[in-house]
Structure formats: structure tokens, C-alpha cells
Chains A and B, each alone.
Chain A
């Protein structure tokens, strides 16, 4: 027992833990950053879980049949975006309750991917696997001790997820387009009266959220499990939805919250492998509980004023 605890705390162990944190963070972060676009434009990103599932499955199908991981990613984005399009039709065009439409969408994605998965792959009974994304060492930077290993020796989706944070921040807070998106989420009618197209902006943002969350899902099937498993997102999409609020609708906040979740997830995995005498169900719960507790402790967040409110023109 003492030896085991010791081994958890060595330098290599810590490096390993942080390296794995980056990887457990990436899928939630992709979904959270995507969801930010939707929320910021005033449309609840409650369907993230559905887009992720769609992306995980679409990505796997694309990669399996083409034999090309990149085509898999493209397929994941398309699958996520198509689901998002359906949601946008209900939430933006028809103006129905977004909580209801979003939950319905998640159910549709869960049932749909499960069904198609059985039709396409499970007839044989065996898991069909693909060769996953491999770490790509960044020349030079990956040579830095410890830091290089943690940050610069990851697969391409991890780089993408973390890169999207500053990109999204810049877009939202430093560009005219970002100002427009935020205005639509704060006060749709005011945006309309200065000549902005509220419907188009919201559709665009929801589609982006679908595509990015789709990538988050594809991470699970193409870089983590190497196959598609029913419900493999394990509520990470809902976590991303909560993480956006916890992160105060800011990409940097979402990054912090995702890292917290990812770290807890990495610790939990490590503990499972270490074989501590704790039921693994408890360990699985850890990241979710921790993130929610932190969220409650962080207190109130001011949401975009028009969030969840459909806009009707006269």
C-alpha cells in the first residue's frame, strides 16, 4: 500500500497524470467551446450531448469506411451539424421550448446511433476497431522536459481543442462578428433594429456548436476508445453544458472548468488502474460531482439576457 501511494506521487506519475488530463479535457472542452457559440447567440446548448454522440458515431463510420481519420473528423462535424440543424429548426424557426427540443434531440441521437451501430457493426458480435489518432510531437517544443511531454506531445484533436479557446475568445470579444453574436444573445430585438439577421446568426452559431461538439464526440471514438460504443459520451455533453455556465459564458472560464473536470477524470482513471479498494462506480462519479460542487460554490452567473427566448418578428 505505501509503495503504491508513493508511486502515484513521483515526478513521472505527475507528468503522466497531467498528460492524461489534457486528453480527458479535450472532448469536453470541444463541446463546451462549441456550446458557447450557441448560448452566446441566445439558444440553449442543451443538445450538446446529442451532437457529441452523433459526432462519435459519424466520425467512426467515416473513418472506418474511408480508412482515413481526417474524413472521419469531417463526417463527425457534419453529423453534429445536422443534428444541430434539426434542433435549430425547432428552437429558432418554430420557437418551441428549447429545454424540450434539446432533450428530445439527445434522445433521438442516443436511439439513432445505437440502432445504426447495431445494424452496421454488431452483427458479428465483435467490436470493430480503427487505428486511432497518434500523438504528434511538436518539433523543438516537445523536447522541453516535463512541459514538452504534457503539452506538446498530444494528438491533433487535443491541440485543436486548446487552440479553439483563444480563437473563440478573440472572435467573441475582439471582432465585429463576435459583437453581433453577443448582441443577438443579449437583446435580439435590438440586434434586429440595427439590421442584423437574428435568425441567420442563431442558425450559424447552433451549427458551429454542433460541428465542434461533433469533434468532441469523435475524440472519444477516434482517439480514445478506437471504436464506437453506445452512449459512450457518458453525459459529457451535459457536463459541457454545465461547464459553460460555470465558466461564466467565457471561453477562458470554460477552459478552466473543463480542466477541472478533465483533471478529476484523469485522477479517477489513475485510481481505477491503481486498483484501490473503492467501487469503480464511485470513481466514475468523481469528476461529475467535483465539477458540480465547484459550480455551486462559484455562485451566480449572469446569463445572456435573451438566452432561451425565441425571437418573433412582428
Chain B
């Protein structure tokens, strides 16, 4: 018998059928992986299971009994918990407050801080979570925020835990920790529905895999009897082709130059004395464990945050001390890490988001006005090129797109602006395998056209396969500048700061020819 199952669930948004007669089930003590392209309908289905949205047809059963899910409250009472793709935490609240919010039956009407912290600390120890109940959630790194989310569900007595792309925001280390937690829950007989675009994770943690495609169930297989190529085939309906990096192109000159850039005051330096040159026609990857100054470096280069010293030069233009508007005008593009907070205006349409940086200039501007016709045509072309799946076309607000499709909007805007240099932070976060493949191909294409690309990623595989050179950051300092054929062992030591290694100070063929 299933702990939780759906029978023939159908959900429509206008003419779009986001879920088309979906029947799935998760057994007690089982991890069921849910795979599917961006926009396949995974989040939609999970929202129905959590009572956040109502299906047009079909039913949900808990332990074989049909149930009505009209609100999250009912889902919670039935032992269903959910960690959302975009966290549902109150940043201004403490860990403990977030965990007990809405649980009056457990806290009582009057809350005493000491007792509250004590009970939350005790509860978090039970799952070996190392969380300080009094810390402000907004100050925690994402990995810990996610734990707060999981703890929140467990505190509500969840028997089935839905994890919607939990690893998209995690470092490999944090993912390992999460998997330990999942196994622990499994040991307690709890079930987990695990959504991820990373096939290796699915292979590692799940017992069965259900694949969705265009809103329909494509099939369910036992993990032990399948392999990543088969799963990819089920998902995108064809074989996956990894784009290959061609031989290095001729290198013009350094396009983006970062000189002795320092962010933060003595003692708490986020970036210390970073010097890098990104040449035209190369992809320079920055590897390193998340939180080692990559984000601060990128923000300082783009002018979102001020650097304390050092210079940034783009193709002869001094960008030091300038803001993002000047950086954009000079030909620098950025795919930011957090698409919802930085990359997109969620209430704007796809078309409006696509011209966010270029609406002031021709061809989109006509006199004082924006040329809607041109913008529409341009947006349609982008939607086709980048395969952005939207039921309402270019006029659809970005907020109703699936997570992966939101990411595609940012990428389309930044790449198609034809910048001189492109900074991409975790550009494939939340993208399905097909879309990831496409973005990689586009990045390599831009490289072939002589663009300078700075790629920041915590996915080692991505950095290794795309980059011409790899820079490694540790605690805000550069510990290495190496070729992509560097050994795993060396890379590991560079990332932990155990040694330094500067073998690739200029692109191949520049120094020795």
C-alpha cells in the first residue's frame, strides 16, 4: 500500500494541461524520485499534494484512503510536508519561530523564548541537525535554511516529505549531508518524494523513479534497473548529446581584467587581492566551495557592490567604482545567482523582463515610447530559441513560469544582448538535462564568437568540461589558476587551500607562440 498516491490528477492553466491524468505513489520508507523537464508539471503536482492548489480532476489518497486537500493545513494534518523549490521561510524570524509558526497546539498560546528554544533545540538534535534556534533565518546560508524547512515539516509530524529540487541550491558537501538526513528519515519509515534534475543524485538516493513529460507520466522504473542515459531518454524523448569544446580559438586580447580586487575590511575579507584576465574566446571557470568569495567577487566586478580596492577594466573601459548601468553599457553581462531576487522582476511579463536592460535604446525604443511590436517579435524569437515554455506566450508574467523556465529568461536576455564579456553564476541551476545541454552549447558558441566568459559554478563537472582555464578560490583568495586537465586531487587541495598552483596564467598558445 502507498503512503501517498495520486490517481488521474489533471490540472489545467487556461489551455495548458500542466498535469494530465497523473497516477503516482510512494511507499512507506521509500524515496521516490520525480524527474522531468522544466515545465513538465512536477511542482504543479506537488502543490496539489500539499493543498496549495486544487486539481481539476482526479484524487489523492493517503494510506489508501481518499482525502480532500483544500489547504496546506489539511495536508499537514494528514502528515504531508513540503520543502518548496523557493523556500517559504520568514527571513526576519529566528529558526525556532519559523519551526513552530502556526503550531499553536504545540507551543501553547503564550510563547516563552527559553522554553521555545529548548524544545526546538532538542527536536533538531533528534535529527542530528546542528541548528541554533535563536539565529535569524535570513542570516543563514541556504544549506541551513533548507534544514530549517525540513525541520519545520518534521515538527508538524510529516510522514511523507516532498522535496522540490532541494539540491539545486546546495554544494556537493551539503547534498551529501542532505542525503544522510533522507536516509535517516527512511530508517524511521518516512517516505520522501525527491525532485532533482541531477541524474546521478537520483541514482544515488532513490528506490524508484517516475518520469513526467509534458504533463504526463512517461513511466516508473526501479532505480536499480535503470541508468542515467535511459532516464534522460525518457525525459526528453531523445539521447543526450554532450556538447564538445572545440580547440581553443585565436585569442585576441584580455577583455575583462580584474586587478588586485579586494572586498571587505582587513580581518573579514570576502575577496583578497584577486587578479584575473579573461581573454576573448575563452571560458575562465571559477571553482571552489560555495561561499568562498565568488559571489562577492562577481558583485564587485559588475558594480552591484563596491570594492574596497583594486580595478576592473572591460576592453579598455575603466569600470572601477562604476555601477551596474555603466557595466551594462560598456558591454558586460551578468547571469546572477539568485534569479528571483536579482535577475527578474517577477510581476513583469517575459517580454518586459527580456528588454529590462535594453529598453532605453533602439530598436525597442521609438521616441519616448517602447515599440511593443518589435519587443513582441523579439520576445517570440527568444522564447523559440531558448525553448522557454509558457502557456500564455511573451505576455505571461514570469512568476507563473516553472523555475527552470525563469532561469531561461535570464539567460536569453543576457546572452542575446551580445555583450563583450559574460559573467555566468551557476547558469544551469534548476535546469533540466536538455536545457543544461543547450545552455552549455550557447556558452561554447559565445566563446567561439570571441566573447570572454567568466563562469562561476560549484558543479565541478560543469567547470571542468566547459572551461579553458580554471581559477580556484578559497576563503576569498585565489589559490590556483590551472588547466582543465588538472587532477581531481590537485583541485581538491586547491579548493581547501592546502596548496597553491599557478600554471595557466594566460590562455594556451599566448605565452608559447
Contact = CB atoms under 8 A, between A and B. Distances in A.
Interface of A: 174-177, 179-180, 182-183, 186-187, 189-196, 302, 304-305, 314
A195 B92 contact: no
Contacts, number: 75
B244 interface: no
26 contacts: A174-B110, A174-B112, A175-B111, A176-B100, A176-B109, A179-B100, A182-B90, A182-B93, A183-B90, A186-B92, A187-B88, A187-B89, A190-B88, A190-B90, A191-B101, A191-B102, A192-B52, A193-B72, A193-B82, A193-B88, A194-B88, A195-B76, A304-B92, A305-B91, A305-B92, A314-B53
A217 to B, nearest CB: 31
Interface in B127-146: none
A90 B47 CA distance: 28
B207 to A, nearest CB: 27
Interface in B101-117: 101-104, 107-112
Contact of B107 (A176, A182, A305, A314): A176
Contacts of A175: 109-111
Given A176-B104, A179-B97, A180-B102, A192 B72 contact: yes
A282 B103 CA distance: 53
A184 to B, nearest CB: 10
Contacts of B250: none
Contacts of A189: 88
A305 B84 CA distance: 19
Contacts of B101: 179-180, 183, 190-191, 194, 196
A314 B102 CA distance: 21
B496 interface: no
A194 B72 CA distance: 6
**Prevailing SS type, chain B contact patch:** loop
Nearest to B99: A194
A302 B92 CA distance: 10
Given A183-B101, A194-B103, 15 more contacts: A175-B109, A176-B111, A179-B111, A180-B102, A186-B93, A190-B90, A193-B72, A193-B82, A194-B76, A194-B88, A195-B76, A195-B102, A196-B102, A302-B92, A314-B52
B71 interface: yes
Interface in B36-95: 47, 50, 52-53, 71-73, 76, 82, 84, 88-93
Across the A-B interface, give the 6 residue pairs with the lowest CB-CB distance, nearest first. Answer: A195-B73, A194-B102, A190-B88, A176-B104, A193-B88, A187-B90
A174 B113 CA distance: 8
B451 interface: no
Contact of B90 (A174, A177, A186, A195): A186
Nearest to A302: B92
Contacts of A191: 90, 101-102
Nearest to B104: A176
By CB atoms of chain B within 10 A, which of A177, A182, A186, A194 has the most? A194
B53 A193 contact: no
Nearest to A170: B110
B469 interface: no
A193 B93 contact: no
B151 to A, nearest CB: 13
Nearest to A186: B90
Contacts of A193: 50, 52, 72, 82, 84, 88
